[in-house]
Amino acid sequence: DKIKAAPTRPVGPDYRSESQKPAATVSADVGIETVTVLPQTPQLIALLSIIRDKATDRGDFIFYSNRIIRLLVEEGLNHLPTTEHTVTTPVGRPYDGLSFQGKICGVSIMRAGEAMEQGLRDCCRSVRIGKILIQRDEETAQPKLFYDKLPEDIADRWVLLLDPMFATGGSAIMAVEVLISRGVPEERILFLNLIASPEGIKNFAAKFPKLRVVTAFVDQGLDEKNYIIPGLGDFGDRYYTR
Ligand code: PRP
Ligand code: URA
């Protein structure tokens, strides 16, 4: 069992001493090679503190979730392949840089995953976006697939799969199965997620050992209704309707 529950520790830049840093609960340590957890910076922890707060209204919930989503997208793009690319600057000198390689698309798990589409569009102009509608049964937490509409050439693309909440992992597993059935190899899927449960992450990584996950936070666990704890409640309700 590699995952240790979310610990509390001093948070801040390395040049400050431990006693100068305020303590906060940071992401659990996953120790799974395919799972990247965003750096637990003061900024990320403060943004998460706002969206986890039950007193936060919908306007702030949307604004601050979007900021974390932007961080996830920027980190996710680091996992795509690049090639060496040298350019000439206006002063006539070469700069040995990189360029992105390969076609991408986004796929959101509706409804909550759609909240991550704009963050992807802000970084990748005119990116193609597919949709998969999966809803968890409120009583049993079992996922049900209702609909999908995906780019025709999805099998030739890298897929950024979008869903902010990763609880039992059932919805994400079902979405990945749809992608695999359309010919997308597991190793070309990148799952971008805001908050995960340790059990969800563990099940998922065991089932798809080559699929990469980028998450902002691995939380403590699940409650008796399979909600993430401490979590932030129902993301879709808070972003869209509440
Ligand atoms: C939520 C969330 C995930 C899923 C996570 O969606 O956005 O898709 O539950 O739970 P799981 O890991 O246990 O499957 P929900 O089905 O509530 O629909 P919504 O996006 O419309 O809120
Ligand atoms: N879906 C959510 O929106 N939140 C949870 O905690 C679990 C599933």
26-65: pLDDT as tens digits: 999 899 999 999 999 999 999 999 999 999 999 999 999 9
Domain ranges of the chain: 8-241
Interface predicted TM-score of the whole assembly (ipTM), two decimals: 0.95
Q: Are strands 82-88 and 143-149 parallel, antiparallel or unpaired?
A: unpaired
Distance 138 CA to ligand 1 centre (A): 10
Distance 162 CA to ligand 1 centre (A): 11
Q: In which residue are the tokens 């006539």 written?
A: 92
Ligand 1 neighbour 231 (Cβ under 6 A): no
Residue 1 reports pLDDT greater than 80: no
Assigned fold of 8-241: Rossmann fold (3.40.50)
Ligand 1 neighbour 109 (Cβ under 6 A): yes
pTM across the whole model: 0.96
Residue 151 reports pLDDT greater than 70: yes
Q: Known catalytic residue: 121?
A: no
Choose which residue among 109, 144, 219, 234 to substitute to test ligand 2 binding: the one with the highest number of ligand atoms within 8 A of its C-beta: 234
Dihedral Cα 79, 84, 89, 93, nearest 10 deg: 140
The pair of structure tokens assigned to 113 is: 């995953």
Among 140, 153, 156, 223, which one carries the catalytic annotation? 140
Query: Rounded to whole angstroms, what are the CA distances from 213 to 27, 65, 78, 88, 106?
Result: 14, 18, 12, 35, 14
Residue 21 reports pLDDT greater than 70: yes
Q: Known catalytic residue: 111?
A: no
Q: Given pLDDT bands bounded at 50, 70 and 90, which one contains residue 91?
A: very high
Distance 99 CA to ligand 2 centre (A): 37
Q: Known catalytic residue: 188?
A: no
Q: Which ligand 1 atom sits closest to the C-alpha of 237?
A: 22
CA distance 239 to 242: 7
224-238 residue pLDDT tens: 999 999 999 999 999
Handedness of CA 210, 216, 221, 226 (dihedral sign): negative
Q: Which ligand 2 atom sits closest to the C-alpha of 112?
A: 3
Distance 30 CA to ligand 2 centre (A): 20
Residue 125 — φ and ψ, nearest 5°?
-60, 135
